[in-house]
Amino acid sequence: MITFNPQLQFNTFEYQLLQENSIKEPEWCFSFAFNKDSTILAVGCQSYIKLFEFTNGKALLNWKLEHADFVRAIYFMKNSQNFISGGEDSSVLVWHQGQNRQWHISQRLIGHSKPIKHIIMNKNEDLIISCGNDYTIKFWVKQTEWICSQTISTHTQNVVSLSINESQNKLISCSEDKSILVMELSPITNQWIVIQRIFVHEQGKRLCFIGDNQFTFQPKNKNILELYSWNSTSKSFYLEMDIPVDSSTDTNYYFPQKFIHQKQLLINKNGNYINMLRKRADGKFIKEKAIRFSTNQIFGTINDSGDYLVTWDQEHNEI
């Protein structure tokens, strides 16, 4: 467990390792998610989801939920005490905590044909977006139950990461086919339309919207992070700049990028490193810190306030 320790000035910070709060965990932990107030930490440990009560940087295991196969993605809802998980068995599960505080599967979403890679939701949490190894992006809307309302099949290889913009009307995805899709929500049909396909030199595993008009993309095994910006004249994104970051060989797609608006801080896992980049007032990014591990098998997340960074890595086998 690593906690944020701000200094007197906004542009200086450090993360301190809370070694005494670390938890030995021999099973691989691929996916992590905090609930809305960071009182629960969900961890996908192979074919189980472990739910920890989280207080002041200390995690206490309270529940252990069985999954049909390895847990590849977790998303904790912000407006309710529910979370979503995606697994190697291609299903998307919606979990609900009942009055007795016990967790159960309220619905199993069937539609993908191969393992799930990433799951996100919109702010209203009436839309689930999932992607995976069947090369598709699926949109699930809430009626009496969750139903699949749309599938986008433009990508030709595994789809590994998704991000939605601040206004909730643009979506980006990246794939092993070396392309980024930009999709826009039609106000007329309420369907998502691919408005741009950006072909890149190297496939990437992670991307993230920064507000409405910028997003970052991490090419695999590269020591640069690409920053794309919106051109209002051409109505398309263009590569604005390459940002230097620490890098080494990267072999997995886990640990999604995350931008903490409160701290204007981007967390970007790249090989053996977790890079921390600060957005300046002029819209540019600079790398401020990097945590180096002795392995590239690093998995984790950061909570919404940016105060706690949680990781599991192959060398230490501990959360």
User: What is the rounded CA–CA span in Å between residue 175 and residue 11?
Assistant: 34
Which pLDDT belongs to residue 317?
96
User: What is the rounded CA–CA span in Å between residue 50 and residue 31?
Assistant: 10
> Residue 106 in 3-state DSSP?
strand
User: What is the rounded CA–CA span in Å between residue 41 and residue 22?
Assistant: 13
Which pLDDT belongs to residue 9?
43
Long-range contacts of 152-156 (CB under 8 A, 24+ apart): 152/181, 152/183, 152/192, 152/194, 154/181, 154/194, 154/197, 155/179, 155/181
User: What is the rounded CA–CA span in Å between residue 182 and residue 18?
Assistant: 39
Which pLDDT belongs to residue 98?
87
For the chain, 319 residues long, the average pLDDT of each consecutive 10-residue run is 53 86 96 96 97 96 93 95 95 92 94 97 97 98 96 98 98 98 97 98 96 96 96 97 95 93 95 96 89 96 96 96
Q: How many residues does the chain have?
A: 319
DSSP assignment string, 193-261: EEEEEEE-SS-EEEEEEETTTEEEEEETT-SEEEEEEEETTTTEEEEEEEEE----------S--EEET
User: How many CA within 13 A on the CB side of residue 224?
Assistant: 10
The H or E element containing residue 301 is strand 298-302
User: What is the rounded CA–CA span in Å between residue 317 and residue 42?
Assistant: 17
In the chain, how long is the greatest CA-to-CA distance? Answer: 55
Q: Which residue has the tokens 């690593």?
A: 2
Number of Cβ atoms within 10 Å of the Cβ of 205: 24
Which pLDDT belongs to residue 5?
58
